[in-house]
Structure 1
């Protein structure tokens, strides 16, 4: 299998070990896609100062692997029915959404962010990677996405990485879910004191915490958690609340 140059240059982890941890390996076209994405990220980072996670393990572990590990079951079951419609809220410089689009070629992604300079770069990267037919971008606050007719109740998977406190993210994501869909919150540390307010917020949204999984990132990059929410009934029309309200007055706060 071809070697990912950025990962090899870092010297701390061989690429085969990275894919082994996922129980999946990219085919040659996908690997070239990840390398091309790194090149585009370098280019746009120089213009817009998007992220420090561009080179070596910073890119291959903290961006690519960290985006993909919660979806190992999908990666390992290519013939299973995939959640084709996905939305990445607060996509920033394009993660996890762009990594998922490359790894799951049947998935259709919507990437949302309210920062124009970031979405300009992400839009250009989508075009450069040839993903225009199944990746779209929305420049808006997610509270507006959650009320837009083309987004509300549409997605099988709604996700957010490093966006806000968990109850706030839950209010962003749950209104976007189709019946039977799931919300995925990428988190760092996680404990019972984190889960209790999230569970209260989820009840208000007619959802529940269905699973919490963890991963010790390769090369000592720390422990990450994936928190999954599932709707128990249609999300009340009151949510999401007006722009800015979820972050100022989080659901589930004491």
Structure 2
């Protein structure tokens, strides 16, 4: 866990133990239900865990915040974020049932009581959330249509305003168009030194 510890010195031993348990859990489930590219497992902590934790480098969310992870797949970025931010409530959704099965199994194994997982599409949800997170599910204008009306109008004073925090790489210029209202775009290479992050970005926006 030296990789995680090197960037997040404040994580407790309990949190680091949960991060350490992630790879064996995903190796077990990935052999049964393919949720991560097999060739990607050797880069599991950089490509999936650290990538997800870029959001924690940007903000920690406020205690009690409700966060929706849309198109979570096998649980990214939601599972690493839930380990990092135990006082935040995470709702992980995906339309593919076998992926949600893995998310639930991992959350249960790690005793992540702040994780709820649902097989559903974001468009059908009735709840509102303080934040929405996601990782390269689709183009930003399309994604915005999925989550329309899902953000709260206001957050507590001093907290990051209601926003989408979207992890994606490449040239995003033609995606930053209405209804996407960019707040900030962060190059992840400013957070992490690994070459993988040279083209990766965190796009923070409102709809």
Task: Give TM-score scaled by structure 2 length.
Answer: 0.85
Distance 1:61 1:218, change over 3 A: farther
- Inter-partner Cα distance in structure 2 for 1:174 and 1:182: 12
Unmatched 5+ stretches in structure 1: 5-13, 203-207, 232-254
Contact (CA 8 Å) 1:107, 1:134: kept in 2 or not? yes
Contact (CA 8 Å) 1:167, 1:201: kept in 2 or not? yes
Distance 1:82 1:214, change over 3 A: farther
Distance 1:213 1:73, change over 3 A: closer
Unmatched 5+ stretches in structure 2: 155-161
Contact (CA 8 Å) 2:135, 2:166: kept in 1 or not? yes
- Inter-partner Cα distance in structure 2 for 1:68 and 1:167: 24
Q: Check if 1:144 corresponds to 2:124.
A: yes
Residues 43-83 of structure 1: per-residue CA shift (max 9 Å, x gap): 1001011112333xx111111111011331435xxxx8346
- Which residue of structure 2 lines up, in the alignment, with residue 135 of structure 1? 115
Contact (CA 8 Å) 1:169, 1:185: kept in 2 or not? no
- Which residue of structure 2 lines up, in the alignment, with residue 81 of structure 1? 62
State the Cα RMSD in Å.
2.0
Q: Check if 1:34 corresponds to 2:6.
A: no
Contact (CA 8 Å) 2:75, 2:103: kept in 1 or not? yes
Contact (CA 8 Å) 1:182, 1:230: kept in 2 or not? yes
Does the residue aligned with 2:153 lie in a helix, a strand or coil?
strand
Contact (CA 8 Å) 1:159, 1:173: kept in 2 or not? no
Q: How many residues align?
A: 195
Give 1:219's match in structure 2, choosing from 173, 194, 199.
194
TM-superposed deviation, 1:164: 0.7
Task: Give TM-score scaled by structure 1 length.
Answer: 0.71
- Inter-partner Cα distance in structure 1 for 2:63 and 2:170: 28
